Structure 1
């Protein structure tokens, strides 16, 4: 299998949450990031623009070493005082290792995975599969690996009314919208 990082898909803003046969997920206030662990064990966390983020998120880098070869699409987030703290993410980017370590101790980051793009456990490149198939494989990865914090499986619902209630209930915590 050729190991390459795909371009992340981007959301498009709309006025109203569409109806129909859709899967709905929360839009997190964080850094969009692709996390990969290649077959040789190397881990990379890359921003949407391709910037390497490993140094700023050592807890995610360390946790990814325990994953099988995989490429995940998701969001790096930090919780502080009961809400998402984007400014705490920014503090990780230009700090020395000792300063980053202090940030990790005070406000650890989490990775909210919302898509599985590749997994080297018999499925290979899954990016071309329909969303429902990728989501099922992502849920299986979480279950099989027993993933817990800093890993979070993005909540998903097929129920529009439930998604709307998430927006009302979770907006004060920093959820930006529904995808």
Structure 2
């Protein structure tokens, strides 16, 4: 697939079939994500594969907004940062998460990012339990690692509408 086509096809999709994602497909996605650049080549990103439907469904309750669709995903990849490896672990993990999503497109999968880091579990309790703390109650998050996001992934027959037109030129600052 050409890069331009890959970029054009990458869309946030929240509807998945129950068809499992084969291990070899997951392994290719992980291998590609682990090649993502990192600050000073610290390689601070860790990837946790969750393909147990009960665990993925439990992850859907990490927030009371924006994570419910995980229930229907056959796969979730939790993108973690090793905080002792780099002060830029968030940036490194975000780059790797983007590569995960592009690799999903290349493998014929749909995906959607669910933000974890810094998010409260409940909207009406912003100072209460965090989404990350909730995930730690049942996922083996390694010591010294923080979850940045979870990428829901799977096969989908849903095709999102094209992106609406935007004034992209207004978002570009050109220096002469």
- TM-score by structure 2 length? 0.30
Q: Greater helix share, 1 or 2?
A: 2
